[in-house]
Structures are given as C-alpha cells and as structure tokens.
Structure 1
C-alpha cells in the first residue's frame, strides 16, 4: 500500500490562500449591494428623496431662517417655472431624447402672449390661448423633425433653440413688456394666497396640478405605457405594435404645450415679459430631471422624481445663498450633484443587465 495520501485528501487538507476572501463574505457584500441596486431600480424616487431630506435638514442647521415658512414659500415660487419645464423635459427624456429648446420655447411663448395683448390688442384669454397654441406648434416642429426626418433630438433642439431665441429677439425688439400694460390674466399666475403661514402663487398650484395629471397619464394610461416602452427599447416597442413615431411626435408636442404654460407662469413670476431671461432654463430643467432619478438612456423615471429634483435644485441654490456661498460655488455644487446622479444611474443600470 502506498504511503502517499490521495490527491483528493491533499486538496481537502490544503488551507485556502491567505489573500482569498471567504465565500460567505463575498455573498454577504454582494447581497447588500444588489439589494440597494434593486431597491433604487424599482423605486428611483428613493435616492432623490433622501438627498432632499438631508439637504433641508443640513441647511436648516446652518441657517435657521431656511426652514421658515416665508423662505420655503420663496423656494417653491422660485422652482415653479423650472419644474414646469422639467415636466415637459421628463416626457422627452423618458423616450431617450433631450430637448435643448425648452427654455427658448417658454420665453418666446411669453413674449408672444404679451405682444398679442399689447400690440395686437387681443383680449387676455384669446392672447393666452393663442400663445399656448404657438408653444404647442413649436414642440410639434421638434417632433416632426425627429420623427419624419429621423434627426437626432440633440441636433434638432439645438437648432430650434437658436431659431426660437432669434425670433424672440425679432418679435420683442429686445424690449420688455410691463405687466401693468397687460390684462390681469397674464400676470395672475404670480398672485399669492395664504395657506396658514405659507404663501403660494397660483402658478405653483397650476404646476402641481400638471404634475398630478401627468402622474396619472404616465402610470395609468396606454399612452403612458407606450412612452416608457418606446424609451426602453424603440425597436421592441415597434415590433409589439406600438406606433413609436406617433408616440414620439405626441411627446414633443405635449412638451411644447407645457413649455408654453411655463412661459405664462414666467410672466406672473416676473410681472413682465422679458426676452432677456431663460439662459439657464434648459440646463436647470435637465438637471431637475436627472436629479429626480430619470435615466438619460430612456425608459426609467417618474414625474414625482422630477418634482423632487426641481426642489433639490431650488433648495441647494437657496440654502447655499443663505449660507453665504458665492454664486460660482453654487453652480459648482449643482454640477457636482448632476455628475453624482448620472454615475448613480449608470450603477443602477448595471444590475439590470
């Protein structure tokens, strides 16, 4: 009989390498990471909501004035226009597109509404409806270029951004229209009313109602399901019988209407119609959507997340201002948040694969 141990016994007796992590440790760490990824993938709102809560608590500690009712009312009023723009931007990003003309459509629509009243002599309601129709038409132009000519949304909206801002300068003559020269309906969105210690504007109420409408539309209608399906995989959606071209056209058209509503809210916010505002609106609207947990690759996101993202932008800008931080560093903080949000989105998408 041989005195040498069998190979199986030798392997059984051999201790594991010192630098090897025990399997149960790997499973434990992987399990924790996967749970977090799955939770964020299933509930994209959790991350932004946590950021918002931490930001509110942190800024309240730095400056007790932050959590006062007048300041919180101011934050909501400041984010109303951006939130309305971000709602339209959400629809487009859900289809894996992007709209760089959002701010231009809003500002141009506000100028058209004001000039319909002042120069064309239209009654307030007719001027408002005509301005909303013009904003809708501008969105439809974007949709036609994307669906009919098959042009990339980035290129299309970059081009129309320049066109609409140029037309804005021509129509307005680079002159601001005062709110006092317009019918009360034009500036009504800036009127405030009390709710306890808070004061809300009617523009904020309109914005919140729009979010409620599209929360239902995206979650409980066939159109909403088609929007998500088109953004998740356009070819698969087409093969499933969804008319993806029509869905994309409708999304850009509806977004144009939402931008025009934002333009009306903007008139009330400024108590005037100025052609010289809105340079940061495009970036801020995209920032709100990204911070809200929507994926730039389409198919994932929610309007509730977008609203939270808009609030995050407003809270950070206001809180950093109250903390005495310079404007340039406020922009730095917002940009850093965007990079973190996009990195988080990439991490979440990996577990899906």
Structure 2
C-alpha cells in the first residue's frame, strides 16, 4: 500500500475516538443507551445512509462529490417497486432494473465529468433535480405499497442474543468489509487513491484516469441502488419522497469518517464510523429528550470540526 493511500494518524484515529467519547457521554445520560437492542436499533437507523456513504466515499476519494445520491436512490426504489407491483414483473428482475437505473445515472455523471470535464458539484446538482423530477413523474407522486417478499427481505430481523438484528445492517457491514479489502488490496482500489491524490501524475504513469473515474461513478450508482432496496425493505413501501436528506447525511458520514474532501486520503471504514457517529448522536439526544433541531445543529458543528481537522492535517503534511 502506498503512502499516499494512508491517512495521518490523527485523521485515522479521530472518528474512532469521537465515537467512543460519544458512547461514554450518552451512557452516562441514559440507562437505556448501552443496551444491545439500542445498538442494534442504531445500526438499523444508519444502514441506508451507510450504504450510500460507500459510493460517496469512492467519489470523494477522487476529489469529487455527489449531490444526487439521495434522489437517485429514491428513483431506484420507485422503479423496482412500481415494476414489481404495477407491472407484475418478477421481483428479482425488477430489483435488477432498479439497480441498472441507478448505475445509469452514475454512468451519466461519470461521462459528464470525464468527457466534458464538468465539475462534479455542478453535474450532480443537475442530475439531482433530474432524478427527483423523474421519480415524481414516474410514480405520479404516489407511494407504492403491497410489495413482494423479495423486496422486503432486508427489512426482516433475526435473533442474536438479546437483540433483533436487521438483515440490511448485516448486508451493510459485509459490503464495507468487501470494499475495505478492495481499496486496500487490489490494483483498482489503489488507482482510486492515486487519481484523487494527483490525477495528472497518475495519468503520466500510464493509468487511464478517465476510466477509473467512470468506474467510480458507476460503482457508486450500484451502491445507491442497493441502498434503495434496503430503504424499500425497511419501510415496506416505494416512497417517491425518500432520499431528500440522505445526500447530505452521506457526505456528513464520509467527512466525519476522515476522508479528505480534497481527494486521495481516506478509509472506507471511517465512513461507517462517521455514519454510526451521527446515528449515536441522534439516538442519544433523543433518549435525553433533546429536540430534533438541536440534533441537526450538533451534526453541523461536527462536520465543520471534521473539515477543519482535514484542512489542518493537509497544511501540516506540506
């Protein structure tokens, strides 16, 4: 593993330290916080954002950003549920169609970024609105109900000790483990870091940077599709209004997890920790009876602190 694909120690340990401090604080404020069932609930609450954050991490590692991830996720969920319920399509085939739609949006984003050289911020701001409009038009702004069991499987739970564990949360953890291995141990994973660290130098070494970027955006689209399936399974409906805050929540998770917004530095596991940190704060504050508006306020403060830490670490590395 190259030095450029490693984080400074503070950025690596920061998310874990923040999570431990948050857990200790809320454990002193509520006797219910440390229960196994509550931790299982936190994982259920963050599993959709956590899956989106995998794709968002890949894009931010290449110095990009995806504002459309939540809207694309919602579109994928509507496509798969509407095809299965209203058109009578086989549930598994409908799921594949939903995944293909989210990957198609990733492909469009990637082509606009690599071929026309548009800034990722502008591209995904545009596709956010396009995905949202298509979702509303295709669904008729109506919620899709009566889903087949295949689409609600990941919303089911199984007993593990004293806790009810959600299959969707298990899927999220498995995918994080797989992506951790892929980014750390495979050549394509190292290329992602290299492109984010210095795209021109990477191109001069013979690596097809545009192909790497295109693959990143398509792969991110796949994870948004998986997130849409888990979201549908958790709620039991196809909701055209889903995903309206998930884009910012996913970016928050990635930033809190220590991935640099300037690209080239970060750990995929950090994004999982970032998502859990947000979940812990919201859960703990809820148990304390704190109004939801303060939860949003504290999340914003955490993001600013994380970005400040990233900026200071970059300056210190120069």
TM-score (structure 2 length as normaliser): 0.97
Q: Does 1:89 align with 2:61?
A: no
Superimposed CA distance per residue, residues 58-115 of structure 1 (whole angstroms, 9 cap, x where no aligned partner): 0011001111122111100000000000010000000000000000111100000001
Report what 1:146 is aligned to.
113
| Separation of aligned partners in 2, 1:310 and 1:206 | 15
- Contact 2:192–2:212 under 8 Å retained in 1: yes
CA distance in 2, matches of 1:212, 1:106: 22
Report the counterpart of residue 16 of structure 1 in structure 2: none
The equivalent residue for 2:233 is 268
Alignment equivalent of 1:247, drawn from 189, 207, 212:
212
Segments of 5+ residues of structure 2 without an aligned counterpart are 1-5
Q: Does 1:340 align with 2:310?
A: no
Which residue of 2 is the match for residue 280 of structure 1? 245
Contact 1:40 1:47 in 2 (8 A): no
For the residues of structure 2 that align with 1:240 and 1:43, how far apart are their CA atoms? 30
- Give the corresponding residue for 2:3: none
Note closer, same or farther for the CA distance 1:219–1:40 as it changes in structure 2 (3 Å cut): closer
- Asked if 1:307 is matched to 2:272, the reply is yes
Larger radius of gyration: 1
Q: 1:239 to 1:40 in 2, by over 3 A?
A: closer
Q: Partners of 1:115 and 1:226 in 2: how far apart?
A: 38
* Matched position secondary structure for 1:65: coil
1:124 matched to which residue of 2? 91
Cα distance in 1 for residues equivalent to 2:244 and 2:100: 23
Q: Paired residue for 1:68, among 25, 32, 35?
A: 35
Higher relative contact order (CA 8 A, sep 6+): 2
- The answer on whether the counterparts of 1:114 and 1:273 sit within 8 Å (CA) in structure 2 is yes
How far 1:319 moved relative to its partner? Answer: 0.6
**Partner residue in 1 for 2:295:** 330
> Which whole-Å CA distance do the structure 1 matches of 2:226 and 2:90 have between them?
18
